[in-house]
Structure 1
Amino acid sequence: MDGLNGSDMAFVLISAALVMVMIPGLALFYGGMVKSKNVLSITLHSYVALIIISVQWIFIGYSIAFGPDKFGLFGGLDFSFLNNVGILPNADYSTTIPQLLFVIFQMMFAVVTGAVISGAFAERMRFPAFIMFILLWSTFVYAPIAHWVWGGSGQNAGWLKQLGVQDFAGGLVVEINSGVSGLVAAIVIGKRKKKVSEPHHIPMAVLGGGILWFGWFGFNAGSALAINGTAVNAFLTTNSAAAAGAIGFAACEWLIHKKPTTLGTISGAIAGLVAITPGCGYVTPMSSLFIGLVGGTLCFFAIVFLKAKLGYDDALDVFGCHGVAGIWGTIATGIFSSKAVNSAGADGLFYGNFELFKVQLIAVGAVILYTAVVTFIILKVIDLFIKLRISKEDESIGLDVSLHGEKAYNVI
């Protein structure tokens, strides 16, 4: 068929599958970090995000995010229920893969973003409330922001895209979005009875972190939507930033606490992956090392000191990792982006262009404000109809038994 490229199609299909693999990876990562009596509950949150958003995306999510532009704020409903979507390309996004494949790839981004948020309120949200939250949040928060940053083209694009924002694989759309939403949810729902983290199975969490690292190559390199040099650069910068992030976090632990921890090291790698996500297709490998190193370092201080000082109970450090590193990575893209790496991008502050740096700052502020306000409204509306938080008795028993009637481990 005219324009379609078999190699690009295969690459994006595989990349979409890699992003989907991040769901069981996240389930293991989060599952290992909670108490043993809550491991099934937090695991189910990741899979429920996959289930609910997979349907929502087909019905209206994709259309709001990538449908024909309306006022630069959201897409129209022309593509709802996948009307007018088929195997022909949509030139606004790619000329070499079917639009239906683009739907699949972007669906997995929406799924992962929704699943990430659940770590912030782990061990204390009622299951019916979570189902309603993930449905409403993906519709009214994720999809509009995806349109702002990635939707449409030219004068018929999302308003941040028209400004020239650069977000290659989701620093704004995925990372800041999920991090800020998680922080708001943690504050609204309130603290756990015992706020100190008690990871019940660190090897499980480390395995999950490794799977996330693996899946992230589909997330970032796949965002090139083609087999080309940009995809290769995104792959390398992704891996480099992850390694540097692990070094940054572990080094901070070593210097301050005298011992580098296993969980801290893998958390630093995740922070590096988050930090490089917006710029992976725009910055050099050397820049990615610096971005990852700073990302891991910032996340250490956010998780260890900022959370303790401000007193919020972000159970699995969604804001400390995704929010903080996402903000840094988006700003860093405005500093280190280079047209020598990607001619479709723009030079950043380091190369003498202040304008991109300014646009990235505007984008960070806009996404934080919109995400915080709308997430807060969604949670308050849900709480009017479905109580958000479990009872103190259920929290003591554990969500696995109290909400789902099963145990993860039956010791004989």
Structure 2
Amino acid sequence: MDDSGQVNTLLLLVSGALVLLMTPGVAFFYGGLVRAKSVVSMMMLSLGAMGLVGVLWVLFGYSMAFGKPLIPGWLGDPFADWGLQSFLGMDGSGALHPDANGLAFAAFQGSFAILAIALISGGIADRARFGGWMLFVAIFVVVVYFPVAYWVFNLKDGWGPALGVNDFAGGTAIHINAGAAALALALVLGRRIGFAKGAHKPHSVPLVLLGAALLWFGWFGFNAGSAAAVDGTAVLAFINTIAAPAAGIVGWLVVEKLKDGKPTSIGAASGAISGLVAVTPGCNILTPWWALVLGLVAGALCAWAVELKYRWGFDDSLDVVGIHLIGGLFGTLYIGIFGQGIGLLDTGSLHQLGVQALASVVVLVCSFVAAYAIGWVVEKTIGFRVRSEDELAGVDLALHGESGYVMADGGVSDDPVTEPDYALTH
């Protein structure tokens, strides 16, 4: 391997580590948004996905997404590269001669698979059984995510690249996919007890901000690493990963100020994530100026979209639909108008917009239908939603025998620790 190849492999290794860090980031972000009695359960949904999806990816997931075609254009053969054997390069004596770049790419894409599934869990916060979630994950990742990754990311054989879809880092495969699945599961499990606007407030703003920071940090690997080479495309993706979320913060806070009278830190974090989601599919083909515009509009659009659950009555607990589905759709379609060299502004043609819309609809419908069916079967068999009494009491102790906050005297706190009121203690 020459020097440039080694540098590109290093980029994939570092980027893969950054993307993997995003899943604990999701755990912190989601964990801070739920009740203190549910923080352990919420974070366990991400950690459980991290373990199960990682195992399945190494065994056969990579082969289904990037291996030898089983159904050309649509699906790879799960048994063609079992356990990533093709990258091990064993000689006659049994010594290993690993394909460094191939294994690095497999690891990088594996971190994508883990994150995509972890994102779904935000739609069912405070009311999902861990066992039901893990069964859903095992089926969904095989039936939906691995094939969708083949459609979108397999540049040699996927129908998306063949059609000319521009989804550089996963607007469809990650965000539309996760958002549609979260909506389906929210409908299957139903609304939380007491669901109403303002009824469920974040228990820890610092946890949310920590999670958002880890997500933004990891997103540089997510976007720039998708270039798989240290080149101009990677650098463009990197700067756009600064521009869009920064503008997303501004867009969200403006709407929040106009709507509620006060800009909030949760709103700022959500605006940054909205901008990151929206720029993901087009970070390779948007100029920084258009990335700023994208982020500004995405932040405002998602700030409005998260209110739809109250109007339409579905309990998307942590706004996966409002941020990831809406942001992913907007960012994917945006390319059809403003994408450099392919969008309407440069070509005068609506062809690219049509291609982007087709890919979005196909992934959205497939993900929603499959997630609803899988979730319904899980609920009717082993059970997916917790008992009402456990939901009211808090699911952490009921499901995991742990509490997120334990007092110094050994007692369990139902709420985060607060400072005593000075007027009452003096």
Normalized against structure 1, the TM-score is what? Answer: 0.93
Task: Find the counterpart in structure 2 of residue 258 from structure 1.
Answer: 261
CA apart distance, 1:97: 6.0
Structure 2 residue identity aligned to 1:395: E
Indicate the SS of the match to 1:5: helix
Please state if 1:364 is matched with 2:360. Answer: yes
CA apart distance, 1:404: 0.5
Following the alignment from structure 1 to structure 2, what is the Cα–Cα distance between the partners of residues 255 and 382? 42
The counterpart of 1:277, out of the listed 275, 280, 288, is: 280
Task: Find the counterpart in structure 2 of residue 342 from structure 1.
Answer: none
Following the alignment from structure 2 to structure 1, what is the Cα–Cα distance between the partners of residues 227 and 365? 29
Task: Find the counterpart in structure 2 of residue 67 from structure 1.
Answer: 67
Task: Find the counterpart in structure 2 of residue 348 from structure 1.
Answer: 343
Structure 1 unaligned spans of 5+: 89-95, 340-346
The counterpart of 1:297, out of the listed 295, 300, 311, is: 300
Q: How does 1:185-334 map to 2 (within 5 A)?
A: 185-195=185-195, 196-304=199-307, 306-334=308-336
Provide the aligned length of Structure 1 versus Structure 2: 394
Q: Residues 97 and 237 (structure 1 numbering): CA distance in 2 closer, same or farther, change over 3 Å? A: farther
Structure 2 residue identity aligned to 1:382: V
Q: Residues 285 and 397 (structure 1 numbering): CA distance in 2 closer, same or farther, change over 3 Å? A: same
Indicate the SS of the match to 1:388: coil
CA apart distance, 1:83: 3.0
Q: Residues 35 and 149 (structure 1 numbering): CA distance in 2 closer, same or farther, change over 3 Å? A: same
Q: How does 1:110-125 map to 2 (within 5 A)?
A: 110-125=113-128
Q: How does 1:68-217 map to 2 (within 5 A)?
A: 68-69=68-69, 70-77=71-78, 78-86=80-88, 98-153=101-156, 157-195=157-195, 196-217=199-220
Following the alignment from structure 2 to structure 1, what is the Cα–Cα distance between the partners of residues 7 and 154? 24
CA displacement 1:165-189 (0-9 Å, x = unmatched):
0100000000000001001101111
Task: Find the counterpart in structure 1 of residue 388 from structure 2.
Answer: 392
RMSD: 1.6
Following the alignment from structure 2 to structure 1, what is the Cα–Cα distance between the partners of residues 361 and 43? 32
Following the alignment from structure 2 to structure 1, what is the Cα–Cα distance between the partners of residues 376 and 161? 31
Indicate the SS of the match to 1:200: coil
Task: Find the counterpart in structure 2 of residue 41 from structure 1.
Answer: 41
Task: Find the counterpart in structure 2 of residue 92 from structure 1.
Answer: none
Alpha carbons 1:68, 1:152 under 8 Å: kept: no
CA apart distance, 1:250: 0.3
CA displacement 1:369-402 (0-9 Å, x = unmatched):
1111111111122223211110001111211100
Structure 2 residue identity aligned to 1:324: I
CA apart distance, 1:80: 2.5
Alpha carbons 1:4, 1:97 under 8 Å: kept: no
Structure 2 unaligned spans of 5+: 91-98, 410-426
Indicate the SS of the match to 1:280: coil
Alpha carbons 1:53, 1:111 under 8 Å: kept: yes
Normalized against structure 2, the TM-score is what? Answer: 0.90
Following the alignment from structure 1 to structure 2, what is the Cα–Cα distance between the partners of residues 232 and 240? 13
CA apart distance, 1:152: 4.6
Following the alignment from structure 2 to structure 1, what is the Cα–Cα distance between the partners of residues 371 and 59? 21
Alpha carbons 1:21, 1:211 under 8 Å: kept: yes
Moved more, 181-190 or 64-73: 64-73
Following the alignment from structure 2 to structure 1, what is the Cα–Cα distance between the partners of residues 214 and 72? 39
Following the alignment from structure 1 to structure 2, what is the Cα–Cα distance between the partners of residues 241 and 4? 29
Task: Find the counterpart in structure 1 of residue 417 from structure 2.
Answer: none
Identity %: 42
Q: Residues 169 and 256 (structure 1 numbering): CA distance in 2 closer, same or farther, change over 3 Å? A: same
Alpha carbons 1:67, 1:152 under 8 Å: kept: no
Following the alignment from structure 1 to structure 2, what is the Cα–Cα distance between the partners of residues 180 and 385? 23
Task: Find the counterpart in structure 1 of residue 370 from structure 2.
Answer: 374
CA apart distance, 1:76: 1.5
The structure having more radius of gyration, on CA atoms, is: 2
